Each structure stands twice: as C-alpha cells, then as structure tokens.
Structure 1
Amino acid sequence: MNAQELREKTPDQLREELANLKKESFNLRFQQATGQLENTAGIKAARRNAARVKTILNEKAAAAASEE
C-alpha cells in the first residue's frame, strides 16, 4: 500500500483501513507473544502502514479545515 493509493480513498475508507491495520497489528503481537509468529517484519510493516493512514487522514482534515 502506498500513499498515492491512500490519497484516492475517502476519509471513511481510510478510517476503516486504519481499524483493519490495528486489528492486524494486535493479531501479530499476540502471535509473537505466544511464539507462533514466523515473520517478525510484519509487525513493523503494519505499524508503518497505520502511521501512513493516519498521516493521510490528518492531511485531508487539514485541507478541509483550510477550505472553510
């Protein structure tokens, strides 16, 4: 997922994507705690993707506020 794809989505879609990423992050952390996680790089990727979504949401909110 790259930033350009995220910028094309609506804020509601971005919030849904953020919720999914948070669930994925939780599941990965849970797998790591129980010793079932094989690919530890997935945790970092999920965190970065969530941060990327939050950044785009903030950009859209700032753009909407500046228009008013």
Structure 2
Amino acid sequence: MLNTTTDQVSVSDTQTKSPRLWIPERVLFTPAALDEDWGQQMQQLSLQLTLIVMLFSLVLKNA
C-alpha cells in the first residue's frame, strides 16, 4: 500500500500516455434526431467512419 507521507513514487510511474480516441462501433439515431441538422451531420460522420448506423423507431400498439 502506498503511504503518501513516507513512500515515493518514481517519475516513470507518474508519466501517462496520451489517451486513445474512442470511437463507437455502432450509432443509434431516432427519427427526431435525423430531422435536425446536427443529427444529419452526425449520421454523415458515422457513415464516413464506417460505423454501424441504426435507426430507432418505437411502434406502440393499442391494446
């Protein structure tokens, strides 16, 4: 266990690597999102990155 008052941490232990860019494998769009300019832009970017693009629609049935 590291006791910060008495133990020392080496410089190499504190150096961090640059974070890796996270890109999702698939993207889910609602019809309302695609009605907006920003939603269409996100869809185009997703297609350019060859991500799996899914359209979410909810169908309600009357009981």
TM-score (norm 2): 0.30
* Bigger helix fraction: 1
Between the two structures, name the one with larger relative contact order (CA 8 Å, sep ≥ 6).
1
- Computing the radius of gyration from Cα coordinates, the structure with the larger value is 2
TM-score (norm 1): 0.28
